[in-house]
């Protein structure tokens, strides 16, 4: 079955890089996602990567995928206080409903 694990907390200083790690189990996942959730808000899709890629860069965000180890990471360059939020990794299952399986989320705290 699907399972997604991620570390629960990360604290960085403003201007540093943040790296959030995630492991997943479903080797048939076609896409893997990173979402951001601010307090009291819904989910905002940050970026995604197709399973046949190993890296994707989008402005300050870099996603690395190691398919052999089923490891995904999100790097945020020049982290700002506005980046403080919970970040969720999610895998998309195959089959007919393309459901997302989320990790428990990583709370990123950015200190001035």
Partner 1 sequence: DAGVTQSPTHLIKTRGQQVTLRCSPISGHKSVSWYQQVLGQGPQFIFQYYEKEERGRGNFPDRFSARQFPNYSSELNVNALLLGDSALYLCASSPQESPIQNTEAFFGQGTRLTVV
Which residues are at the interface with partner 1 (CB under 8 A)? 4, 30-31, 33, 41-45, 48, 88, 90, 92, 95-105
Quick one: how far is CA 71 from the chain centroid? Answer: 10
Q: Which of 86, 98, 75 is nearest to 2 (CA)?
A: 98
Q: Which helix (H) or strand (E) holds 63?
A: strand 61-66
Output the smallest distance, CB 112 to partner 1, in A.
26
How far apart CA 19 and CA 16 sit, in angstroms, is: 10
Output the smallest distance, CB 36 to partner 1, in A.
11
Closest to partner 1 by CB, 26 vs 92, is: 92
Output the smallest distance, CB 64 to partner 1, in A.
18
């Amino acid at each position: 079955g699907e399972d997604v694990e991620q570390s629960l907390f990360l604290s960085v200083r403003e201007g540093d890089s943040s790296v959030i790690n995630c492991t997943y189990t479903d080797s048939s996942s076609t896409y893997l996602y990173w979402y951001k959730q601010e307090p009291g808000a819904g989910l905002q899709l940050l970026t995604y990567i197709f399973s046949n890629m190993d890296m994707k860069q989008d402005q300050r965000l870099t996603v690395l995928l190691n398919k052999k180890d089923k490891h995904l990471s999100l790097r945020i360059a020049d982290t700002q206080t506005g980046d403080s939020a919970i970040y969720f990794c999610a895998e998309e299952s195959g089959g007919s409903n393309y459901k997302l399986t989320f990790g428990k989320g990583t709370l990123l705290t950015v200190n001035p």
